[in-house]
Chain A
Amino acid sequence: MINATAHTYHAEPTEEALPSRGRVGMVCLIATEAALFSIFVVAYLFYIGKSLIGPYPAQVLEVPMLPTICLLASSATIMLAERALRQGYGVLFKGWWFLTMLLGVAFLYATAVEWYRLIFTHHLTISTNLFGTTFYSLVGFHAMHVTVGLMLLTLVLILSLCGYVTQAQSERVAALSLYWHFVDVVWIVVFLVVYVIGR
């Protein structure tokens, strides 16, 4: 009896569909980056209202609605680009991909304008007070991730213009777009912490 059941068990060695390496690797990277950001977020929350001298957030911060919409919209456009590639529409893919990059650049431009105003009009730098320290490090760290994302997006665009990015590469493009979605999600957290709770 035991032998019989064991034999049927043996006849079909268990086989699982293993997940793709690119996706799992990217999810791991995102997990570790999320832990990194959470420490900066905790530092920001911990130091809210602890600055000994001004300027204070309520005096100088303006809610960046338009840049936020740009960045969140870029998550949608990259999804459309990804789908176009999966279905084999190369031109459509390039179009959505380029639009994603434009939205990312617009976000960075808005950050630059905001920082220019804070530094030269309000004289808030990273060493002014705890608000400046935590603000520039958290927002700057996020902006750095947007910049890295844009570099990777540019690389893919160049490769696709050279004809290397085909339907066969859609799994790799999907892994990269996971990173871009992550950068967007981090912005939602940063937005809430800096511009809603911290103001």
Chain B
Amino acid sequence: MAFEYPLARPQAEAPRLPLLVQLHDWVVTVDHKRLGIMYVCTGLLFFAVAGLEASIMRWQLAFPNHNVVAPEVFNRLFTMHGTTMVFLVGMPLILGLANYLIPLMIGARDLAFPRLNAFGFWLSLFGGVLLYFSYLGGEGLSGAGTAPDVGWFAYAPLTERAFSRGHSTDYWILSLLVSGIGSVATSINIVTTVFCMRCKGMTLARMPLFVWMLLVVAGMILFAMPPLTAAQLMLLLDRYLGARFFDTQAGGSAVLWQHFFWIFGHPEVYILMLPGFAAVSEIIPVFSRKPMFGYAAMVGATLAIAFISMGVWAHHMFTVGMSAMANAFFTASTMLIAVPTGIKIFNWLATMYGGKIRFATPMLFCIGFLFQFLCAGLTGIMLAASPFDWQLSDSYFVVAHFHYVLIGGLLFTIFAAIHYWFPKATGKMLSETLGRWHFWLLVIGFNLTFGPQHIAGILGMPRRIYTYAPGRGWELWNLLSSVGVAFQALAVLFFVWNVIRALRQGPPAGDDPWDAWTLEWTTTSPPPEYNFETLPEVQSRRPLWDLKHPHDPDWHHE
């Protein structure tokens, strides 16, 4: 035997600490695993809140001339829904997975800067709390509104003092500023960890693809977050010091805000999607019993996506009236990004091809992701063509497109990741039966909700309207869409039930329930606070395979 991973086992069952002490331990912790779990819980909590907001909107739109909420309440709902889902659901979930898994996967005991990590988490959490505090504290002027109602991309000059009285927009700015600083802090931490903390033998070319992709994501956050922060600082200067950045009366430009926002906004889409790709790249090989097909191509495609995604932002702005040259450039660059994304899809399919596929819940979610994300990609290419976009921009077709990306794509991969790594984090197995209910209800509910929205969009239904008159042919599609929400809500309830049940009486998971190959499965479940008693040493991309198959280790072939 070349080497062994000594397992650190807890000596004896520690006595149960009083609740207050336990709570205190969670608040003051700098352990990457606890912070990772808190990130994921924060994300799921805000997911429930934003999902509820979406449900109210769908109930309002289920029938023509429906009167569930007032128009101004509806404006707040879609603003809060979008802002929450992107900044307080997507970001915490991906940063939480990165936090929990990266040190374990590269054989380190923690992130490079553990206290900075805690700082980043608490900033993100309180940024989110600040956003929702606006419902209570936003009433700066009586009748001027509470929560932000300017849409998640907050176009100027609607956000200027003259048009947005009171403090609702300030809450939008400040909460995202705060949580943005948290994300940047954590990204600095991730990049530094990957470059400086890898265990012996873990060269860059042997890192799990998950770590590679999260490294790229962290790098993207470093460059994509500041444009938003800068634009928000400018808006704050406008609102509080009377600066003129976006004041069209003084020669300022409203289009400049759009450029700055989308220079952040489009890379952000890939910042959210790449961690999904990362989880899929770990799960599909394990459940197909084959090593990942085209490792180098995957890394290359990830870097290509990161690079190209910085140059596609203005495809969100085709209807604003740019030059023909700009339209052509951004159409071409947007179509170009489909190439590396296509490479990835083919690599996942090639990994599954000829494998001994196990259809466990994590794998089901990955397969669902492949189909739905492909649909999202195809409508994305349609919208990339600027003439087509002129017709359908700001319609429900766009809404359907990006929900196929973020739910059919991202959310499915997040659920895959949670089902896959839950046994590691808690030591308990989730139920396969409940997992299947969760999966199938979500597939049905999701496609029922967002499939018909493509058609409503083609029939001319604009996004962000709070109601519509009968007789435009939109009724059926909206009703189907709203019915789908019930299935999705039910699916989420199955998930909650599954988690609670597993935590209380789930069967013990063991160290390596999926017969997987990366380093995190060499630790106990849950791993001890210090992760590894002695730091591991690796010889190939699948260290655990080498350990299990000493007669035929991977480094014979790599």
Contacts and interface: CB of A to CB of B under 8 A. Distances in A.
A114 interface: no
A3 B553 CA distance: 11
Contacts of B424: none
A43 B226 CA distance: 14
A122 interface: no
A28 B201 CA distance: 25
B143 to A, nearest CB: 27
| Chain B residues touching A, majority SS | helix
Interface string A23-54: 01100110111011001100100110011100
B539 to A, nearest CB: 6
A168 to B, nearest CB: 18
Interface string B233-254: 1100100011111000011110
Interface string A4-33: 001001100111101111001100110111
Interface string B195-208: 11110110100000
A136 B245 CA distance: 12
Contact of A133 (B2, B189, B227, B244): B244
Contacts of B260: 39, 43
Contact of B251 (A31, A127, A130): A130
Given A6-B556, A32-B184, A129-B244, A43 B251 contact: no
A19 B195 contact: yes
B113 A130 contact: no
A126 B113 contact: no
Nearest to A28: B188
B40 to A, nearest CB: 24
A127 B226 contact: no
Nearest to A137: B237
A2 interface: yes
B222 A28 contact: yes
| Chain A residues touching B, majority SS | helix
A126 B225 contact: no
B192 interface: yes
Residue with the highest number of chain B CB atoms closer than 10 Å, among A32, A46, A52, A127: A32
Contacts of B198: 16, 18
Contacts of A33: 226
B496 interface: no
Interface of B: 2, 112-113, 184, 187-189, 191-192, 195-198, 200-201, 203, 222-227, 229-231, 233-234, 237, 241-245, 250-253, 256, 260, 263, 537-539, 555-556
Interface of A: 2-3, 6, 9-10, 13-16, 18-21, 24-25, 28-29, 31-33, 35-36, 39-40, 43, 46-47, 50-52, 126-127, 129-130, 132-134, 136-137, 141
5 tightest Cβ-Cβ pairs between the two chains A and B = A127-B242, A39-B230, A36-B226, A35-B226, A28-B188
14 contacts: A6-B555, A20-B196, A21-B113, A24-B195, A29-B188, A35-B225, A39-B226, A39-B263, A43-B234, A43-B260, A47-B252, A51-B251, A133-B243, A141-B233
